[in-house]
Amino acid sequence: MRQAFSLLLTILPFLGNAQSDTLQPVSSPEEQIIEDYLQSIEAEGDFDFNTIFEELEYFRDNPLDLNGANEGDLQALKLLSDIQILDLINYRRQAGDLISVYELQAIPSFDLLTIRRILPFVAVGGGLDDYQTSLGKMLAQGKNELYLRWFRILEEQQGYTPLGEGQTGSRYLGDPNQFYMRYKHSYSNRLSYGFTAEKDRGEEFFKGSNPYGFDFYSAHLFLKDYSKRIKAIALGDYAVSFGQGLILFSGFGAGKSSAVMNIKRTARTLRPYTSVNEANFQRGAAATIGLSDQLELTALASLRNRGANLLEADTTDLEEAELRQATSLDLAGLHRTPNEIARENAIQQLTLGGQLKWNHSLGHIALNTLYENLNADLTQFRPAPFNQFDFTGNTLFNVSLDYSFIFQNFNFFGETARSANGAMATTNGLLMGLDRRVDLALLVRHFPRDYQALNAIPFAETQGGQNETGVYLGIEARPHPNWRLSAYFDTWRHPWLRFNIDAPSTGYEYRARLTYFRKRDFEAFLEVRDERKAQNVDKIEGNNDAIVERQVFQTRLHLAKKVAPSLELRSRIDVGFTDNEINERQEGFAIYQDVLFKPRGFPLSFTARYALFDTDGFQTRFYSFENNLLYTYGIPSYFNRGSRYYINLRYRGIRNLTLEARIAQTFWKNQDTFGSGNEAINGQTRTTVGAQIKYQF
């Protein structure tokens, strides 16, 4: 606690007056979005949709024209809430084009904090479409970027040691280095082509299962707004999103977060794919064609290999042996051990789909269809009551109708979908601008236990769009130009059993955040979050698990201040507990201090953190976004008793070249080993190092 008290003293400078003023925002909303997402799925580690905010770099060099931007363009910023996008579109329709970016202050939901965050990425005027640019010019001219990245863990992990006498299991076949390479050519935001390659830690490199080098390769060519009729063409790897995500949503689908108004899926239908997630994308060709000024048609075809757990045939009949069966699709994309390699590219997945969309200045309505075919039957390896309604077989067909329309200050949206077995799922929402200072979000969802879709990612408590009925209510109030209150309440019911929950169950969650920002260099927020839902707990007596309510309560105080144009300090305190009626209550806290030094006119900058944490175990853990190498996101969870630090260095002293380096270490005081299985380290620390080169030409 003495260390914690010493670290708390670093917060005292925030109480003083500002010494300088700057237009740069003191915090970034994408940090909270990713942090909340990983906490909601109870995962940690590297975030593999690593280029999700890549378009921000483009908008920094080519500001988005606020007068010409449509809903999809504004959503691509990732910095505006759905209600802010609605208010901006309404304002333009009623008052005409903006004269200056500072006119945003006249739009009800745009407070000073939001305006300052988007200022580096937006402009007024200068965004006219140039349909006269030839394809040859776009292919030959533009900007080229090359990224080379390396990561590894310094301590020896069990997966890289030989099996001892009498030991069973498997070890990693590759070395502990992680390599990443990406090349991208872009012309404005209308054309891009390039490739991505990655080797994860433990995977072989130029040998064994990867004789051609990297384990994962991806390439794409994407053309956007080539003419009034050719809206988009995608070749190679691409992402597709239909409606509110009930039948298909490729890429990152954010869930509940402190951005309480962001409940609407508004991603563009077709997008280039440049991330390293090896499961959630399409490979083939797709196009969006404008049939008229208001009607457009999107068609897609994808054929790709998928990792899967195959069942070995237990028959000598050749015809029956050819009927392959798979128990699950591999979502991790790791191929380090013989068993993992055996699952790699085990089956093929064919995807055909289309969307017919009618657009209007006040909204749209779209009909979506999707056909999926696997060359192996999905089956249940160990059938259980909780999974008896999951999809089995090799062919699945989905159809849906989605809509969005604006009426005054109200935005109605939703999607209703049907799977091949006749089950109907629906989600419907409403965004309301009740007053210049108050916005409201409402979403009602109903996903039957037998609804089936392979790539459904709707806004919900759980993923998959199945076995859930719920109501979400969010509110944001701006009682004063320097204050913002945001909160949501979500309640849900699972009408059937779930994994590790052996009965129908209910749950609810609420979250509230009060934010204060002063001038242009200080921001503070206090947040409270409480979640209660069912879980199985081992009983001391008897063979059956007990189903009890688990409560997770956390509160957070966050302070950020620019003490000089080149220096920012951020401090955070997390306190919380996890409890149920059978196990002992687990409590804990985490506290950290960040230093961000980015001098103007000097090529070297750095960010650093030192954190202390003390919790009773994994059940009480705190997720915290970390600054990392460009387009790399790490969100570790702090638990047990220990400390963590990281230092990132960035050098831009050579024309068109950016050099980055990073070191991070976690120390557990109350543990003698770190991790488990092949990831286990015989020691109390885990140290990661990394470096990256970015070259623009």
- pLDDT tens string 458-492: 999 998 999 999 999 999 999 998 999 999 999 99
Q: Is the pLDDT of residue 24 over 50?
A: no
What are the φ and ψ backbone dihedral angles of 334, each rounded to 5 degrees? -105, 135
β-strand 216-224 against 230-240: which pairing, if any?
antiparallel
**Higher local confidence (pLDDT), 106 or 450:** 450
Tell how far CA 14 is from the center of its chain.
Answer: 31
Per residue in 380-400, pLDDT tens?
878 888 899 999 999 999 999
Whole-number pLDDT of residue 377: 94
Residue type, 373: N
pLDDT at position 18 over 50: no
227-275 pLDDT per residue, tens: 989 999 999 999 999 999 999 998 667 789 888 998 998 888 999 999 8
Mean pLDDT, range 618-627, rounded to an integer:
91
pLDDT over 90, % of the chain: 61
In the predicted structure, residue 32 carries a pLDDT above the cut 90: no
Contact 497, 386 (CB under 8 A): yes
**602-608 average pLDDT score:** 95
**Helix residue spans in 488-634 (DSSP H):** none
Bigger pLDDT: 513 vs 5: 513
**Is the model more confident about 576 or about 52?**
576
Task: With CA atoms as reference, report the closest residue to 520 among 13, 22, 12.
Answer: 22
For the record, the structure tokens of 172 come out as 């990693």
**What pLDDT was estimated at residue 250?**
84
pLDDT above 60 for 510: yes
Which residues are registered as beta bridge partners of 226? none
State the pLDDT at residue 463: 86
Residue 134 has pLDDT above 80, yes or no: yes
pLDDT of 52 above 80: no
For 409-504, where are the E strands, in sequence order?
410-419, 424-435, 438-447, 468-480, 483-494
Q: Is the pLDDT of residue 365 over 60?
A: yes
Residue 68 has a pLDDT of 84
Return the pLDDT at 549. Answer: 93
Asked if residue 20 lies in contact with residue 521, where contact means CB atoms within 8 angstroms, the answer is yes
What's the pLDDT score for residue 71? 79
Concatenating the DSSP letter of every residue in 170-234 gives: ---SS-SEEEEEEEEEEETTTEEEEEEEEE-TT--SSBTTBTTS-SEEEEEEEEE-SSSSEEEEE
Beta carbons within 10 angstroms of residue 121's beta carbon: 19
Q: Which of 7-16, 111-120, 238-247 has the lowest mean pLDDT?
A: 7-16
Under 8 Å between Cβ of 51 and 277 = no
3-class DSSP assignment, residue 35:
helix
pLDDT, mean over the chain: 88
Question: What is residue 37's three-state secondary structure?
Answer: helix
Contact between 613 and 642 under an 8 Å Cβ cutoff? The reply is yes
Q: Which of 154-158, 300-304, 445-449, 622-626 has the lowest mean pLDDT?
A: 622-626
Element (H, E) at 178: strand 177-187
| 13 pLDDT higher than 60 | no
How confident is the model at residue 127, as a pLDDT? 54
**Mean pLDDT confidence for 97-113:** 85
pLDDT of residue 540: 56
| Whether residue 617 has pLDDT greater than 80 | yes
Confidence bin at 19 (pLDDT 50/70/90): very low
Confidence of residue 202 (pLDDT cuts 50, 70, 90): very high
| Mean pLDDT, residues 674-692 taken together | 95
Residue 39, helix vs strand vs coil: helix
Average pLDDT over residues 584-594: 96
Both tokens assigned to 492: 């849900």
The reported pLDDT for the residue numbered 130 is 59
Separation of alpha carbons 541 and 549, rounded Å: 19
The answer, yes or no, to whether residue 173 has pLDDT greater than 90, is yes
Q: Three-class SS of residue 343?
A: helix
Left, alpha or beta for 408 (phi > 0: left; psi -120 to 50: alpha)?
A: left
Alpha helices by DSSP H, 121-271:
135-140
Judged on CB neighbours under 10 Å (0-12, 13-18, 19+), 383 is: exposed
User: What distance in Å separates the CA atoms of residue 518 and residue 522, rounded to the nearest whole number?
Assistant: 5
Instruction: Note the Cα 229 to chain centre separation in Å.
Output: 32
Average pLDDT over residues 148-168: 91
| Radius of gyration for the chain, computed over Cα atoms and rounded to the nearest angstrom | 25
